[in-house]
Amino acid sequence: MPKASAHFTPSDHTLSLSQARQIRDQRGAQALTDSVLSRAAADQRNAVLAHSNSVAPQAEGPLAGIPFAVKDNIDCLPFPTTGGSPALLDNQPKADAPAVAKLKAAGAHAPLKLNLHELAFGVTNNNAHFGAVPTPFDRTRVSGGSSGGSAAAVASGIVPFALGTDTGGSTRIPAAFCGIVGFRPSTGRYPDGGVLTLSTTRDTIGPMASSVTDIIEVDALICDEIDPVPTTQRPLRIGLFYHKQGLSVSLDVQFQKAVDRLQSEGLVEIVEVDETPFTDLEQNYGHIVVTHEAATIWTQFCAEVRNQSIEDFAASLGSPQVKAIFDLLPERGSSNEAKAAYEKAIKGIANLRQAYEQLFVTHSLDLIAMPTVPVPPPLIGDEDMIDTDLGPQPTFPTVVRNASLASLTGAPSLSIPAGTDTTGLPVGFMIETRRNEDRFLLAAGVVLERGLQML
């Protein structure tokens, strides 16, 4: 694999919350907003779909005057919610999504909507209508999906943080591909509603930022969290949890380097665990659940909101691949065989969650860790297969393989940058813990992020 086309270091480009506050305090909230809109207008990566030229609000609160951006499957006034699709260019919401409203109530404002894989049905963010979003590390490679616009906007310093959504890895995969931090909270932690949903079982909004510290602040404001983040003085006990086959060799080398660094600094204690019960998750559970639930959700949406059949709606989609998925949804939602498979998968997920919790008890684990994605970003336009140590493998199941676990167990998951591989492409270090222990996970993330910064 050739090296990335140009050296890119996110820390040289990103805009942290502290930097945004400094600009606001020294030059005023309008100057901060103007600089964000200027960078958005100069964006050449298709990350930004829409922007408003509204005056920065005279707001109070912990995020007073701070601009952020929102993935365009999340309702955020005054914008339509297009889902990155030509089929929904006129889909105007009546209110902000509750998570967006929380941030606006804290003084922030959202002058930008961001690109995504059409209707969030993919992991590359190669959007047929609005254009592919490349990773800032290499303009020939994808930013990841489905929240690729959110990741690219943060990595390029357009905004200090952005909201994405995560069904099977859609905040964490693009975070890894763009060298930033992506967080999937425990399912149900954030208020629901105001999102073009794929799966009631798996979907959640998730924030993306340049540091774990900034994620902690955004998370607290969405959740009305008042308790301080817990701290730990002892090494974190981590179960290594990743396949040693079916991955990029250069990525594997960098991930092991990250583990070695954390061990040498006394930050972690590594425990070998058996991951056998947690393999083939997308095939056994994830895909079945998403397609069945999406069939119900989108059939209802088309009838009640669009006043059309799902078949007619599918005909107006931009991506042939997404259209092919929608063409299959009616059968996946209504056939007796599909219903039986769905019920079996839901029971399997319940057992998976019990096994996941028991894993932490059996090995006295604080966390599990794995590469966020076992391969580097695919080339734009060459996304069906990707090279691994086992030869070419289908891209989608390979990319989501590690990220699926948290979305099925409902556990929190955090992707942290872990340097770059030998080709100059970013590597993500993903950690997870028990469900509803989000603040502990984020506290651990601060510790590990500090240890990984010099890679």
Contact in structure between 45 and 134 (CB atoms under 8 Å): yes
Q: Name the residue among 79, 33, 27, 40 with its Cα closest to residue 56.
A: 33
**Contacts (Cβ under 8 Å, ≥6 apart) of 447:** 232, 236, 267
Structure confidence at residue 327 (pLDDT): 96
**CB neighbours of 173 closer than 8 A, spacing ≥ 6?**
123, 144, 145, 182, 372, 373, 399, 400, 403, 415
Distance CA 448, CA 135 (A): 24
Count CA atoms within 13 Å of residue 96 on its CB side: 18
- What's phi and psi for 30, nearest 5 deg? -65, -35
Class of 10-223 per CATH? alpha beta
SS3 106: coil
One DSSP character per residue, 300-315 reads: HHHHHTS-S-HHHHHH
Q: Is the Cβ–Cβ distance between 401 and 284 less than 8 Å?
A: no
Angle between helices 98-105 and 212-223 (to 10 degrees): 100
Sequence-ordered list of residues with C-beta below 8 angstroms from that of 131, at least 6 positions apart, any chain: 46, 115
How would you write the pLDDT of the chain (455 residues) with one tens digit per residue? 555 545 677 767 899 999 999 999 999 999 999 999 999 999 989 999 999 977 788 889 999 999 999 999 999 999 999 999 999 999 999 999 999 999 999 999 999 999 999 999 999 999 999 999 999 999 999 999 999 999 999 999 999 999 999 999 999 999 999 999 999 999 999 999 999 999 999 999 999 999 999 999 999 999 998 877 887 779 999 999 877 788 999 999 999 999 999 999 999 999 989 988 999 999 999 999 999 999 999 999 999 999 999 999 999 999 999 999 999 999 988 899 999 999 999 999 999 999 999 999 999 999 999 999 999 999 999 999 999 999 999 999 999 999 999 999 999 999 999 999 999 999 999 999 999 999 999 999 999 999 999 88
Residue of 182, 136, 124 lying closest to 43 (CA atoms): 136
Measured distance CA(367)–CA(223) in Å, rounded: 22
What positions carry a catalytic annotation?
Answer: 71, 146, 170
| pLDDT score, position 149 | 99
- DSSP β-ladder status, 367-371 and 236-240: parallel
Domain locations along the chain: 10-223, 236-274+364-436
| Euclidean distance between CA atoms 261 and 177, whole angstroms | 21
pLDDT value, residue 4: 57
pLDDT attached to residue 1: 54
SS3 of residue 92 by DSSP: coil
CB 164 within 8 A of CB 187: no
- Measured at the CA of 193, the angle between CA 410 and CA 225, to 5 degrees, comes to 60
